[in-house]
Amino acid sequence: MTENLDPFTISQIQLQDACKLKGYDHQLYEALSEPERFVQIKITMKMDDGSIRTFKGFRSQYNSARGPMKGGIRWHPEESASLVKALSAWMTWKTACVDIPLGGAKGGIICNPKGMSNRELETLARNYIRQLADFIGPNIDVPAPDVYTNPQIMAWMMDEYEKIVRKHAPSVITGKPLALGGSAGRSIATAKGGIFTIREAAKDIGLDLNGAKVVVQGYGNAGSWAAKILQDDFNCKIIAVSDSKGGVYNEDGIDAYKAAEQKEKTKTVLGLKGTKDLTNEDILELKCDVLVPAALENVITRENAEKINCKIVAELANGPTTPDADHILYDNQILVIPDFLCNAGGVTVSYFEMVQGYYSYFWTEKEVFEALDRVMTNAYRSTVKQAKEFNTNNRMGAYMISIERVVDAMRLRGWL
Ligand code: NAD
């Protein structure tokens, strides 16, 4: 039988497994297994060439028991309702895992932003918010950037929302530019948070990060910053990186900044001087110490899990590993830092951005990262402890902590 790679099905399998480990019955599983609300919208707009295009968009609001819901907006040609629902579930477990007072949501538009002008991007952003304004807000649901969206798009979205409610409401959105109430450190927060967990994981397995070999699959915001920070702060050797067009490899090391410059200039890391080309499949199977999947979901599957040849998998991407692959990596004693723990730095600093916005008082980058380190290290330690106690993998450890927190909040509210 082929492996089911539908993202929402995968998120439900994981939840089911975690509920079993916790001893939760089917009624509790059902209470946790679908979004509270799922909104589908249609955006019709004029393109620069005069043609009319219609786009499909989504917002999935999964669980609000612990606070206003929170989650990014992806613009991608392969966006789907199932993916947005899965990502909104993972956001719920993520905010609970790092114990910040927020719920989980996610949004997306099926589109190819790479082929659009600035005016088209702005029109799409403003339309999305107009359609969803009744469902979002600083105390309801707070969007943020994700794949192929950025601070400029967040600024347009915030401005559109403020026009509708006719007042300043900066905490309706996070990941804003600094000049509009963004937080210091937000743009590198996902990578920075992931690296705090890699540092802890390396300590646990006695891996010296100085000179450790690192492979980064997906050289976008999260991946490229992870490479730069691992190189600068820990003297790691980045031996391969990739993007949607393919990967580049040099056993003696690739300069993370030069790779970023190459991608900035030519839109791909391919062709970087002194490197040899590899496919995205090959780069995942390279022998290394730390493998960082930082692109999209379902890249480590039943098909290739046996060939993963590293000590730590640090999942900066959401959903890179399937449930079958999880079992194989666990049996092979590869330490996995699961996605909703490893990449929680972004939402944590988004939460700091909301707090700073409420107070209209802004922290230094040093203050942001010190607070982030405390949150990430605590979450990593609790996850590993829970996994050990139940003799299970770290993903299940993280799930068990998170679902218990969500269930407690639902019980206290009288929902259960
Ligand atoms: P991004 O758009 O900045 O970068 C994505 C990168 O992945 C691009 O370089 C793209 O070329 C590459 N890519 C796309 N398809 C690929 C493929 N098939 N193989 C290899 N590379 C491919 O996005 P991002 O914000 O860095 O997000 C990457 C992952 O991290 C996503 O799973 C996202 O959900 C997750 N994440 C991001 C944040 C954040 O704050 N940016 C927070 C949490 C999780």
Best probe residue, ligand 1, of 186, 296, 301, 348 (max atoms within 8 Å of C-beta):
296
Atom number of ligand 1 nearest to Cα 222: 26
Of the candidates 19, 57, 58, the one whose C-alpha atom is nearest the C-alpha of residue 37 is: 58
Q: How far is residue 130's CA from residue 62's CA, in Å, rounded to a whole number?
A: 21
For residue 217, the SS3 value is strand
CA of 156 to the centre of ligand 1 (A): 21
CA of 317 to the centre of ligand 1 (A): 6
Residue 394 confidence (pLDDT): 98
Rounded to 5 degrees, φ, ψ at 275 are -125, 160
Atom number of ligand 1 nearest to Cα 339: 44
How many helices (H) and strands (E) the chain has is answered by 14, 12
How high does pLDDT run on average in the chain? 97
190 lines ligand 1 (CB under 6 A): yes
**150-170 average pLDDT score:** 97
> What residues form DSSP beta bridges with 104?
63
250 lines ligand 1 (CB under 6 A): no
Residue 1 confidence (pLDDT): 77
Within 1-146, where are the H helices? 7-22, 26-32, 81-97, 118-132
Q: Strand 246-249 and strand 276-278: pairing?
A: antiparallel
**153-162 average pLDDT score:** 98
CA of 30 to the centre of ligand 1 (A): 31
216 lines ligand 1 (CB under 6 A): no
Q: Strand 335-337 and strand 246-249: pairing?
A: unpaired
Residue 367 confidence (pLDDT): 98
Please, are residues 245 and 220 in contact by the beta-carbon 8 Å criterion?
no
- The tens digit of pLDDT for each residue in 178-215 reads 999 999 999 899 999 999 999 999 999 999 999 999 99
CA of 43 to the centre of ligand 1 (A): 24
Q: How far is residue 96's CA from residue 195's CA, in Å, rounded to a whole number?
A: 20
Best probe residue, ligand 1, of 244, 266, 281, 341 (max atoms within 8 Å of C-beta):
244
Share of the chain above pLDDT 90, in %: 98
75 lines ligand 1 (CB under 6 A): no
Atom number of ligand 1 nearest to Cα 343: 43
95 lines ligand 1 (CB under 6 A): no
Please, are residues 104 and 406 in contact by the beta-carbon 8 Å criterion?
no
CA of 227 to the centre of ligand 1 (A): 13
pLDDT bucket at 19, cuts 50 / 70 / 90: very high
346 lines ligand 1 (CB under 6 A): yes
CA of 320 to the centre of ligand 1 (A): 11
147 lines ligand 1 (CB under 6 A): yes
**22-39 average pLDDT score:** 97
pLDDT bucket at 2, cuts 50 / 70 / 90: confident
Residue 44 confidence (pLDDT): 98
pLDDT bucket at 111, cuts 50 / 70 / 90: very high
Rounded to 5 degrees, φ, ψ at 31 are -65, -20
Instruction: List the residue whose alpha carbon is closest to atom 30 of ligand 1.
Output: 317
HEC readout, 71-106: EEEEEECCCCHHHHHHHHHHHHHHHHHCCCCCCEEE
> What residues form DSSP beta bridges with 53?
45
Strands (DSSP E) contained in 333-381 are 335-337
Cα–Cα–Cα angle for 11, 13, 17, rounded to 5 degrees:
115
296 lines ligand 1 (CB under 6 A): yes
How many other C-beta atoms lie within 10 A of the C-beta of residue 250? Answer: 17
- The tens digit of pLDDT for each residue in 365-409 reads 999 999 999 999 999 999 999 999 999 999 999 999 999 999 999
Rounded to 5 degrees, φ, ψ at 260 are -65, -40
Q: Tell me which of 70, 94, 106, 228 is the catalytic residue.
A: 106
Residue 331 confidence (pLDDT): 97
Residue found by looking up tokens 């959401």 in the block: 318
CA of 166 to the centre of ligand 1 (A): 34
- The tens digit of pLDDT for each residue in 296-336 reads 999 999 999 999 999 999 999 999 999 999 999 999 999 99
User: Annotated catalytic, 237?
Assistant: no
Instruction: List the residue whose alpha carbon is closest to atom 18 of ligand 1.
Output: 244
316 lines ligand 1 (CB under 6 A): yes
294 lines ligand 1 (CB under 6 A): yes
Share of the chain above pLDDT 70, in %: 100
pLDDT bucket at 70, cuts 50 / 70 / 90: very high
**240-267 average pLDDT score:** 97
